[in-house]
Amino acid sequence: MIGPRGHRPERMCLGCKRRGAKGEFIRIVRLPSGEVAVDDVGRSPGRGAYICRSADCLGKARKKRAFARALRVDEGSIPYEALLSAVVQSDQASGC
């Protein structure tokens, strides 16, 4: 059994289904108000979904309408432009 210090949150990408540490992904959240936003901190309250820091995974998730299903919202309320800019910024920051 892993103790509390050995626990590492594991999440799954909606696009490619890859599993990894929580910090490897970008989180999108449906806030209690119903608004959908990119969660820069990773701790905002609400229902969350995760995507790799890759434009390919974002495209796959969008094509499958995975965000709308995971967050239980209409497809039109997903801020894909904000997600794309978050993916681009994370790619530039990591040097990819």
Q: With respect to residue 39, please indicate whether it lies within any of the assigned structural domains.
A: yes
Q: With respect to residue 86, please indicate whether it lies within any of the assigned structural domains.
A: yes
Q: With respect to residue 87, please indicate whether it lies within any of the assigned structural domains.
A: yes
Q: With respect to residue 4, please indicate whether it lies within any of the assigned structural domains.
A: no
> Is residue 96 over pLDDT 50?
no
Residue 51, beta-bridge partner list: 26
Of the spans 37-41, 63-67, 89-93, which averages the highest pLDDT?
63-67
Task: Specify the residue for token string 């530039």.
Answer: 92
Q: With respect to residue 30, please indicate whether it lies within any of the assigned structural domains.
A: yes
pLDDT in tens, 45-71: 999 999 999 999 999 999 999 999 999
- Tell me which residue range forms the domain holding 82: 11-94
DSSP 69: H
Q: With respect to residue 6, please indicate whether it lies within any of the assigned structural domains.
A: no
Q: With respect to residue 50, please indicate whether it lies within any of the assigned structural domains.
A: yes
Domain with 21 in it: what CATH number? 3.30.1230.10
pTM: 0.84
pLDDT at 89: 87
Q: With respect to residue 5, please indicate whether it lies within any of the assigned structural domains.
A: no
What is the total count of domains within the chain? 1
> Is residue 1 over pLDDT 60?
no
pLDDT at 80: 92
Residue 18, judged by CB atoms within 10 A of its CB (0-12, 13-18, 19+), counts as: middle
